[in-house]
Chains A and B, each alone.
Chain A
Amino acid sequence: MPSNSFESFCGRVCSFVRFSPDHDAITAELTAHLEDHRDALLELRSGLTQEEAEEAAVKAMGDPEELGRALNESHSPLLGWFQIWFQAVVWFLSAIIVIFCLFHLPDTLENLTSKPDSVSSDPALYFERQVYPDDLVTQYEANAVYQDPPYIYTIEQVAIENYSGARYVECILQITQPNPWLRCPAFGYDLWAEDDVGNRYPSTREWRALDETIYSKVKVSTPMGDFPFTTHYCLTVTNVDPAATQLTFRFDRYGEIRLSLTVPLKGGQADG
C-alpha cells in the first residue's frame, strides 16, 4: 500500500499532467519506483526508519512540478483522447459489422462463389433444363474467348436448336471482371452477328428499326444472375442459315470493336 508521502508526491506530479486517464498509470509507475528506491535504502542503511527512507526516495525523484511538466509533454491530451475515442468507436462499429456480416455469411459466400441457378455449375445443364429435347439438334463446347479490359468474354457452350425447321443458335456468354462495380456490361441491345456465308443477323436495336417481318436477329437475355465478378447472358440467334459453319458475334456501336467472338456451328448442312 502506498504511503501518504508517495501519494502526495504522485498527486503533485499528476496535477501537471493534463491527460487525466493516464494519471492512474503514472501514479502506479511512480509508486513502484519510489517503493523500489525505499526498499533499497532500507537494505543499504539499516539505521533508517521507514518514513526517512520514503522521504529520501521522494527527494531523489526531484521536483514534482518539473517531473509533472515533463510527463505532460509525453502524454498529449489531444492524441490520448483521440486514441481512446477512436478505439471505442472502431471496436463498437466493428462488433456491429461483424455480427451483421456473420448473420449474412451464407448469402455472401454464395454470392461470391455461385453461378446463377439457371446456369448452375455447368452451363451445359442450362440447355438441358431450358430446351425441349426434341428441339435440341446438338450441344457442344466452344471455348471462344475475347478480352477487352476490364472484361473477359467467354462462350463455353453452344446449343443448336430446330424450331419448325428454323435453325436457332443459343450460347451461354460468361463475362468476368475483376472490379465488382462493373458487373453487367450493357451491350445487349447492340450485339449483332454474321456467319461465314455472308449473312448478317441484326442487333435488337437494328431489328426494331427494320421491317419487323425480318425474323433473323440477335437477342441477348437480361443478366442471368447478378454476381460481383461474373455475369452470364444467354445469346440467341434466330433463323441462322443452315449452310453456315461459324458465327461471329460483334459489338461495335461506337466504331471500335469491343466484343468479337466466333463460335463453330454444328448440326447444319455441312454436317449432313
Chain B
Amino acid sequence: MAERPISQRGRKWRILRDAVILLLALVFLTVTLDFPIFTAGQALRATQIRYYWEDGEMVAQLPPGNIYKYQYLLRNGNWYAWCGLSREGLLWNYGSLVSVYRDPEQPLTAITPVSIQTILVVAGDPDIAQVEVEYPITVSLSESSRTCQLKRLRQDPVTEHCFWFQPPEESSPICQLEDIRLRGYAADGTLIYQSPIPESWAKIGIHVTE
C-alpha cells in the first residue's frame, strides 16, 4: 500500500505529540535528578521561601564572591538579608540566606554571611554615611608563633543603611564576628561611632591604645 503524504495538519499533530514526549522525558529526568534548580530566579525564590523571606524585596545585587557567585541584598521592613546562590554546571544549588535586624538603637550591627569571608553591616544611625571594619589577619605563621596585624576596609553604602565588605582573599579576616571592630562616619568624615576594642585581639598579640 502506498504511503500517503503527510498533511499540514498531520505534521502539526506529530509536532504536538513529540512535544508531549519531550515534556514527559524532561519530567522523568527532573525526578531522576532529584528536582534540580534550573534558573537563578528559581533558586532565589526557593531560598526566600525556605528561609521565610517571601516578602523580602531585592534591593541590590552584590559583587560575586568566592563561594557564592550570585549575591543579593534583600529587605523586608527593617530586616535586611544577604542571599547567596551558587551554580553547579548548568544547574543551581540551594541558596543561603542570613538576616539581620536594623535596630535604630544600635548605631551599627554586623553579620558575616559566608563564614568569615564577607561582612554585612547595617547602620541604625541614619547619619552614618561610611562604615569601616577593622579585623586581624595572619601575616606569618610558624609552629610556635603566629603574627597578626590589623586590616581596615572602608565603604560607602551599597543601598540605604547597608554596607557590604568582601575582603580580598589574601587579607580575609581570621576571626569571628566578635573580633571585628566597626566604625561609622558622617558624610563629612567625622567619626560618629566606634565599637569597643574586641577582647580577643589581646589574645593574638594585638594591643591597641586609644
Chain A residues proximal to chain B, CB less than 8 Å: 22, 24-26, 28-29, 31-32, 74-76, 79-80, 82-83, 86-87, 90-91, 93-94, 97-98, 100-101, 104-105, 108, 111-112, 150, 180-187, 228, 251, 253-254, 258
Contact = CB atoms under 8 A, between A and B. Distances in A.
Contacts, number: 100
A22 B53 CA distance: 57
Interface stretch (B43-51, B136-144, B152-160, B196-204): B43-51
Given A80-B11, A97-B26, A254-B52, 18 more contacts: A25-B5, A26-B5, A29-B4, A74-B8, A79-B12, A83-B11, A86-B18, A87-B14, A94-B21, A100-B32, A101-B29, A101-B32, A181-B37, A184-B94, A186-B50, A187-B52, A253-B52, A254-B53
Contact of A186 (B21, B42, B51): B51
Interface of B: 2-8, 11-12, 14-15, 18-19, 21-22, 24-26, 28-29, 31-32, 34-35, 37, 42, 46, 49-53, 76, 79, 94, 97, 99
B8 A79 contact: yes
A79 B29 contact: no
Nearest to B10: A83
Listed from nearest, the 8 A-B pairs whose CB atoms lie closest are A28-B2, A25-B5, A180-B35, A94-B25, A90-B18, A97-B25, A83-B11, A90-B22
A94 B31 contact: no
10 contacts: A25-B4, A31-B2, A75-B8, A87-B14, A91-B18, A97-B25, A97-B26, A97-B28, A101-B28, A254-B79
Contact of A86 (B15, B26, B97): B15
Contact of A29 (B5, B29, B42, B53): B5
A98 B25 contact: yes
Q: Is the interface of A mostly helix, strand, loop or mixed?
A: helix
A235 to B, nearest CB: 17
The DSSP consensus for interface residues of chain B is helix
A108 B32 contact: yes
A82 B25 contact: no
